[in-house]
Each structure stands twice: as C-alpha cells, then as structure tokens.
A and B are shown apart, each in its own frame.
Chain A
Amino acid sequence: MPQQLQNTAYVGGLSNPPVVSAQAFRAAMNAMARPGRTEEINGAIPPDGISVAAGSLLLTLCDPETGVYLAPDVDSEVLRGWLAFHTGAPIVAAEQADFALGSWAALTPLDRFRIGTPEYPDRSATLIVEVPGFGAPNAVLSGPGIKDAAKMALPDLAAFQNNTLLYPLGVDFFFTCGTQVAALPRSTQISAEA
C-alpha cells in the first residue's frame, strides 16, 4: 500500500469514541423515530467521497459482526481500509449486507438487499443513501413518529412505496448529506405531494 493511502485510512476516527458515538447514535435514533426530520450528526472525518454524516453513522453502527456493502460509486481501497481500521466491519455483497452505503442510483435495485424473514424481520439491511441535499420536498409522510404529516425530498417515490408494502419486512433508510441525517423506516406511509 502506498504511504499516502495507508495514512488516510487511519485518520479521522471518532475523537472520544464513548461520548461521540453516543451522541451520533442519539442523532440516528431520533432521525429514525421522527421520519423526515433532519438531525445533525458528526464526529468522524471519513476519506474523500463520502459525507461526514455517512462516515459518522458507519463508525457508530458498524462492528466486526455487521457486513457492509459499498456501492460502486463510493467503494475505494481507502474507504475499505478506513472502515476496517475503525470498525473491523467486513465488506460483503449486497445480498448479505447489514448496512449499505452509496448514492441512490448506485444502490438500486433494492430487491438485492435482505428484507428479513417473518420470524426475524430485523435481519434486514439498512441503507445509507448519500443525497446531494434535502431539497424541495416531493413526498408526504405519515405513520409512526409523525403527528400529522411530514414532508421530505425522496429520490424515487415508487421504490419507497413498494418497500412500505413489504411491512413488517423491508429495508430502512438513512439519508445523509454533509453533517445532516434524515431517516425513513419501513413503517412510514408515503404519498406524492399534491
């Protein structure tokens, strides 16, 4: 491994892991509990190519027992090295992944990912989708964690609606951009904004 590459894989971990990862976990949990709301998440400084939010999520959620799938647009030797050093998480194929990271275009089609089984719906993948921004909302969300209705910008309505139909199976989503994270659990009902 060239020196340069080797070192970028080592820097940028959580500065004070017990505290920072607890804060990041709280941000992720709140985002998942309130679909559509964005939360601030930071702590990690990942290699170029992925956002601070996505890097912090990975360092908080992954360990040697969670398989991570890196979509072709984010996959790199440096990122693999960085994940290996800081989390020990194995890199696996999409079909075995507990977590997947990439842009929406690179992660689709969704039917590659595990959706759990009726006995164990938790054995499903969580997708971390890198988005260019939380722009103008195009979807109205309702369901658990939403009082009346929430609005959110989603890359593709149909795919998320199909995922909701699988409930209680299905995958869950985090959307990351910069230091912000939003989430969309499988329990949320999605309709197009009128």
Chain B
Amino acid sequence: MNTKFSAEERKGWMSLLASADEVRLAELWQEYGADPACEWLRAPEAGGVMVRGRMGGSGASFNLGEMTVTRCALSLEDGTVGHGYVQGRSKAKAGMAAKIDALMQTGAAAGLSTAVLEPLAAERKARKTARAAKAAATKVEFFTMVRGED
C-alpha cells in the first residue's frame, strides 16, 4: 500500500468530496476518464448522522441537528480500500467519492488530484470568498457624527 500521504491530507480530500456538488464532481470524474473496476465492501447506503457542536469551540457539546449521509466502501483490484462518506442521498456520489479515495492512495494520486480535487478545492474557496464578500458588504460601521453643538 502506498503510504505517501498523511492522515491530514486524507482528511482534506474526504472533506472536499463530502461537501462537493454532485453534478460538478460527476463532470470532473468523467473528464478524468479512468473508472477502475472495484468490488463493494459495503454497498452505498443512506443514513442519518447527528451533527454536534460546541459554542465557540469550548463548553458542553449540543446536538445541532441531523443530516443525511450516504456512505460506502469498496476495494480496487489491487486491494486498496476506499471509503465514501458524502452529504445527501446520492449513491452515485458516494461511489465516486470512494473510488477517488481509493485512487488517491495509489500511484494515480498526483494526476487525480490535479484533475478533480484541485478544481473542486478552488471552487469551494471561490464560493467561500464570494459569500464572505457578500456578508462583508452588509457590515454596518457605527460612528458618532459631530452634533453641531458648541
């Protein structure tokens, strides 16, 4: 098994795939071209997870709400295992995510990263920046005007 990636890096691409837009992911995956043969270890299944949060990153945790998650696991022909955990009910998306996770652990990582992950990351960043800019535009600055008395 190729171990040239850190847990941190894997976390990065899992997170990116989990929240990626399905249509865009499918597009990039199509463009990448390769669709390796694989065997299901766990066929895609939809379920709910409880998202928990903490105020300000400290304090007692509370249940924020439930969200739908689809997950699956597969192994490539060389035995590499890939997991897909994605937001929503799309089994196809979970399958793509698991394949990408498996391929990212093999020699195909560099090519796949350029073809699929980097565009996704760039788009996510652009979306975040746009949203932050939109929010910043509504920011209200409070200041006191000169009252005009003495």
Number of interface residues of B (CB under 8 A): 8
Q: List 16 A-B contacts (CB under 8 A).
A: A3-B1, A6-B1, A6-B81, A7-B75, A7-B79, A7-B81, A10-B41, A10-B42, A10-B73, A10-B75, A10-B81, A13-B41, A17-B45, A85-B41, A85-B42, A85-B73
Number of interface residues of A (CB under 8 A): 8
Nearest residue in B to A18 (C-beta to C-beta)?
B45
What separation, in Å, do the CA atoms of A85 and B73 have in the docked complex?
10
A88: min CB distance to chain B, Å: 11
Interface residues of A (CB under 8 A from B): 3, 6-7, 10-11, 13, 17, 85
Q: Which residues of A contact B75 (CB under 8 A)?
A: 7, 10
Q: Determine chain A's interface SS by DSSP, over half rule.
A: helix
What separation, in Å, do the CA atoms of A6 and B42 have in the docked complex?
14
What separation, in Å, do the CA atoms of A13 and B79 have in the docked complex?
17
Q: Which residues of A contact B42 (CB under 8 A)?
A: 10, 13, 85
Q: Which residues of A contact B41 (CB under 8 A)?
A: 10-11, 13, 85
What separation, in Å, do the CA atoms of A11 and B1 have in the docked complex?
18
Top 10 A-B residue pairs of the complex, sorted by shortest distance between their CB atoms: A10-B41, A3-B1, A7-B79, A3-B79, A10-B81, A6-B81, A10-B73, A7-B75, A13-B42, A11-B41
